[in-house]
Amino acid sequence: MAEAEVGDDGFGEDPTVRALEERYAELVGKQAALFVPSGVMANQIALRIHTKPGNVVIAAKRAHVVLYEMGAAAKNAGVQFATLDDPDGFITSQQVAGVIEGVAHHLPQVNLLCLENTSMAGGGVVWSTQRFGAVVAAAQGLPVHLDGARLFNAHIASGTSLADLARPASTVMSCLSKGLGAPVGSLLAGTKEDIGLAADERKRFGGTMRQAGIIAAGGLYALKHHLQRLHDDHDRAKRLAEALFDAWPQADVDVSRTETNIVLANVENDAEVLAFLAKAGVLATTIAPRVIRFVTHLDVSDDDIDQAIAAIRTAPVAS
Ligand SMILES: Cc1ncc(COP(=O)(O)O)c(C=O)c1O
């Protein structure tokens, strides 16, 4: 990063940013890509380029773009969501077809389908290309935005190429700063035309950076050196899930659904348990009342998992 060649990315003149954008576009099989400061900004830009205020966006009830972006979709894009139940992290083609059918019955025009792979609130489960393709087909040609914040995890867990995972989507975004371990940044990819519009929207959000090659270099490094090691995160999450299943039988931990780097546990006394774990040096968080989320990543080693398991075994979980 210190040695990165830089330029003014506001003018598209930063060679390191350009290299990163080209690399991501190539990996996900799209014409062009745009480097942005965060995953939320990438999602918000996608909403702005695919919709107009008043439009309806189909998404899973617990999608990040619905629940975890501070109502930004309403504020930034003026859209409303048609949310669909996603008990296991997935929505179905029947659910999507049901929303589209409503248009013929005085229900609002639908303009975008948003999907999330892996599904964060689903515990990091991976959308297969078959499942993804079927839901996209039910959307009957609507634009599709793929929130692939953790698409790299989906790719490593499934062995399916990033391009195949992203193929049915009009735009796809991924975060470099999650499991991949880069300090800053996300990427949004799509057609040249969409990415041109996205660059204008990035400017409107104040997200156009100047000598951003310094941080883009971290992203390039992460793509080169940290992709394959996501297997380790997935193995560690599995170990954690097995230990949680044994130690907290009442917490509904599903070891077989721990496919990537997220483990969810349902705990009545979440605050007490999180405080206990934090004292033992194990940081986790809640993503909903009584739902604790553990995430493995670049900075979590096998020894750290041992430490977490020891703390989990003695945590005061209410029965
Ligand atoms: C599924 C999903 N989408 C988008 C984001 C947003 O990423 P960022 O935190 O970089 O804005 C996150 C991050 O938590 C996420 O989990």
Q: Tell which one of 61, 153, 175 to mutate to probe ligand 1, the residue whose CB is within 8 A of the most ligand atoms.
A: 175
Q: Is 39 in the pocket of ligand 1 (CB under 6 A)?
A: yes
Q: Is 36 exposed, middle or buried (CB count within 10 Å of its CB: 0-12, 13-18, 19+)? A: buried
- Average the pLDDT over 58-66 and give the result: 98
Q: For residue 107, what pLDDT is reported?
A: 84
Cα-to-chain-centroid distance, residue 291: 18
For the chain, give the percent of residues with pLDDT over 70: 100
Q: How far is the CA of 104 from the centre of ligand 1 (A)?
A: 34
CATH fold of 230-314 reads Aspartate Aminotransferase, domain 1 (3.90.1150)
The band of 290, judged by pLDDT with boundaries at 50, 70 and 90, is: very high
Pick 9-225's CATH classification: 3.40.640.10, 3.20.20.70, 3.90.870.10, 1.10.10.10: 3.40.640.10
| pLDDT tens for each residue of 76-101 | 999 999 999 999 999 999 999 999 99
Place of tokens 């735009």: 171
Q: Is 293 in the pocket of ligand 1 (CB under 6 A)?
A: no
Q: How confident is the model at residue 55 (pLDDT cuts 50, 70, 90)?
A: very high
| pTM (2 d.p.) | 0.97
112-133 pLDDT tens trace: 999 999 999 999 999 999 999 9
CB 113 within 8 A of CB 148: no
Please give the pLDDT value at position 120: 98
Q: Is the pLDDT of residue 66 over 90?
A: yes
Does ligand 1 come within 6 angstroms of the Cβ of 123? no
Q: Is the pLDDT of residue 260 over 90?
A: yes
Extended beta strands in 67-156, E state: 80-84, 110-116, 144-147
Token pair in block for residue 97: 């077809």
Q: Give the integer Cα–Cα distance in Å for 234 and 136.
A: 27
> Is the C-beta atom of 64 inside 6 A of ligand 1?
yes
Can you list the positions of beta strands (E) in 262-306?
A: 262-266, 285-288, 291-295
Per-residue model confidence (pLDDT) at position 108? 83
Q: What angle do CA 37, 219, 188 make, to 5 degrees?
A: 50
Give 178 Cα–ligand 1 centroid separation in angstroms: 8
57 contacts: CB under 8 Å, gap ≥ 6: 47, 51, 65, 73, 79, 80, 81, 82, 110, 111, 112, 113, 114
Cβ-Cβ contacts under 8 Å for 13 (sequence gap 6 or more): 7
pLDDT at 228: 97
Are 156 and 6 in contact, with CB atoms under 8 Å apart? no
* pLDDT score recorded for residue 72: 96
Give the mean pLDDT of 55-82: 97
Q: Is 160 in the pocket of ligand 1 (CB under 6 A)?
A: no
76 C-alpha to ligand 1 centroid (Å): 17
Query: For residue range 160-193, what is the model confidence (pLDDT) as tens digits?
Result: 999 999 999 999 999 999 999 999 999 999 999 9
28 lines ligand 1 (CB under 6 A): no
pLDDT at 319 over 80: no
CB of 69 closer than 6 angstroms to any ligand 1 atom: no
Residue 316 pLDDT exceeds 80: yes
Calculate how far, in angstroms, residue 42's C-alpha sits from the geometric centre of ligand 1. 9
User: Which residue's alpha carbon is at the smallest distance from atom 9 of ligand 1?
Assistant: 39
Query: Whose Cα sits closest to atom 4 in ligand 1?
Result: 39
Task: Tell me the angle at which helices 93-102 and 129-138 cross, rounded to the nearest 10 degrees.
Answer: 10
Q: Name the helix (H) or strand (E) containing 175.
A: strand 171-175
Residue positions counted in the chain: 319
**Average model confidence (pLDDT) across the chain:** 97
**Cβ(116) to ligand 1 under 6 A?**
yes
* Residue 76: burial class (beta carbons within 10 Å; 0-12, 13-18, 19+): buried
Beta-bridge partner residues of 266? 291
- Please calculate the CA angle 189-193-199 and round it to the nearest 5 degrees: 65
Instruction: Report the pLDDT value the prediction gives residue 109, as an integer from 0 to 100.
Output: 85
Q: What is the pLDDT of residues 214-248, one digit of tens each?
A: 999 999 999 999 999 999 999 999 999 999 999 99
- 3-state secondary structure (DSSP) of residue 258: coil
pLDDT (mean) for 262-285:
98
Domain residue limits, the chain: 9-225, 230-314
| Site to substitute for ligand 1 among 38, 47, 64, most atoms within 8 A of C-beta | 64
Region 131-148 average pLDDT: 97
Question: Ligand 1: does its nearest atom lie under 6 Å from the Cβ of 259?
Answer: no
